[in-house]
A and B are shown apart, each in its own frame.
Chain A
Amino acid sequence: MSDELKLIAAAKAGSADAFADLVREHRVRLLRFLLTRSSSYADAEDILQDTLIAAFRHLHSYDPRWRFSTWLYRIAIRNAARLRRPDLVEIGDLRDEENDPLQQCIADSETDNLWVNARQLLNDDVFAAMWLRYAEDMSVNDISKALDRSASWTKVNLMRGRRVLETHLNGAAQRSEAYG
């Protein structure tokens, strides 16, 4: 039995320490992802906390056929969607440039971070699919499970997301050449 499965078994038996150890390595990655879907750093932290509590509370429903990280991401995505204000369509509406928590976590020297552009160019679901694929190296099947979408939807939208970003990059390169 792997360490992860041992920790899951102990956490299922009620051990909060085992669960804390289990999610320790996932917390930073989850927080980074939630930062792209929140209006502030504090909101992202709150969603992370809610996600971990919900995961611990409902650990009995975890299916070991899933990767544990996939299951956590699914809960996080649901929590982030639940806490979003209902009158806003896209998460980009929540932020202004100065108070954007994602911008604040990117060093000044790296203003051309592609994820900032991706969030402006892609809708939430496509952005999440792209993040899980390229930031988390998840398989298409895991992304489908995390987003509760079909594998076909995931493949098509990963391709669309890539095309949008490639077009953006090519346009940026041409503008850069034009302005010398």
Chain B
Amino acid sequence: MDKLARQLHDDAQRIDVSVSDELDRRIEASLRAVTPEFEDSRPASVARPALFWWASTLTGVAAAVALIAIANWRAPAQPVPAPVNIVAAIPAIELKAETAMLTGPLQQELDRLESDLRKAEARVKRDIGL
């Protein structure tokens, strides 16, 4: 032990401390009032063999199959709806139309736009005095 260690050790011993009778009684009374906690007494979980896993899996599968079978067996027969002729239900669309009938509205709209454009052009020329 070197000089510093020796001095530290000795100086610690020179710190004059004692446990008084009053503190001693307090501590003992406190200890008697305390109930120590005990270790968990439940047995530790033990790893189960693989056989248990297979047995529980098969039991689960068998139970599921049985449940499905019982549910299907008890279900009342559902009335089968009569087939509906969808083609007959949809109104026939007249596909025979002239091209002019289909493009007529577009042509009219185009004419109106061109007319508006000409009017606007004339208004601009008048405003700037050409």
Among B23, B32, B37, the residue within 8 A (CB) of A57 is B37
In the complex, are the beta carbons of A20 and B28 less than 8 A apart?
A: yes
Per-residue B-contact encoding for A54-68, CB less than 8 Å = 1, 0 else: 001111100000000
**Which chain A residues (126-161) contact chain B, with CB distance < 8 Å?**
130-131, 134-135, 137
Contacts of A114 in B (CB 8 A): 7-8, 11
Interface centre among A48, A114, A162 (most CB of B within 10 A): A114
Residue count of chain A within 8 Å CB distance of chain B? 39
Which of B13-21, B51-59, B90-98, B101-109 sits within the interface? B13-21
Q: How far, in angstroms, from A53 to B13 measured CA to CA in the complex? A: 26
Residue count of chain B within 8 Å CB distance of chain A? 27
**Which chain B residues (62-115) contact chain A, with CB distance < 8 Å?**
none
Among A16, A134, A137, the residue within 8 A (CB) of B28 is A16
In the complex, are the beta carbons of B26 and A106 less than 8 A apart?
A: no
Interface centre among B9, B19, B28, B36 (most CB of A within 10 A): B36
**Which chain A residues (24-39) contact chain B, with CB distance < 8 Å?**
27-28, 31-32, 35
Among B9, B30, B32, the residue within 8 A (CB) of A134 is B9
In the complex, are the beta carbons of B31 and A105 less than 8 A apart?
A: no
Other contacts beyond A57-B37, A106-B15, A131-B12: 8, CB < 8 A: A16-B31, A19-B31, A28-B18, A49-B26, A60-B36, A115-B12, A134-B5, A135-B12
Q: Does A12 contact B (CB under 8 A)?
A: yes
In the complex, are the beta carbons of B31 and A52 less than 8 A apart?
A: yes
Among A107, A115, A169, the residue within 8 A (CB) of B4 is A169
The interface of chain B, by Cβ under 8 A from chain A, is 4-5, 7-9, 11-19, 23, 26-28, 30-32, 34-39
Among A11, A56, A113, the residue within 8 A (CB) of B14 is A113
Q: How far, in angstroms, from A162 to B35 measured CA to CA in the complex? A: 43
Q: How far, in angstroms, from A98 to B32 measured CA to CA in the complex? A: 37
- 14 inter-chain pairs at a CB distance below 8 angstroms, sorted by A residue, are A16-B31, A20-B28, A48-B19, A49-B26, A56-B34, A57-B37, A58-B36, A106-B16, A113-B14, A114-B7, A115-B8, A130-B8, A134-B9, A165-B4
In the complex, are the beta carbons of B14 and A106 less than 8 A apart?
A: yes
* A60-B38 contact given A134-B8, A135-B9, CB 8 Å threshold: yes
Contacts of A59 in B (CB 8 A): 36
Shortest Cβ distance from residue B43 to the other chain A in the assembled complex, whole angstroms: 16
Q: How far, in angstroms, from A1 to B17 measured CA to CA in the complex? A: 32
Q: Does A125 contact B (CB under 8 A)?
A: no
Contacts of B5 in A (CB 8 A): 134
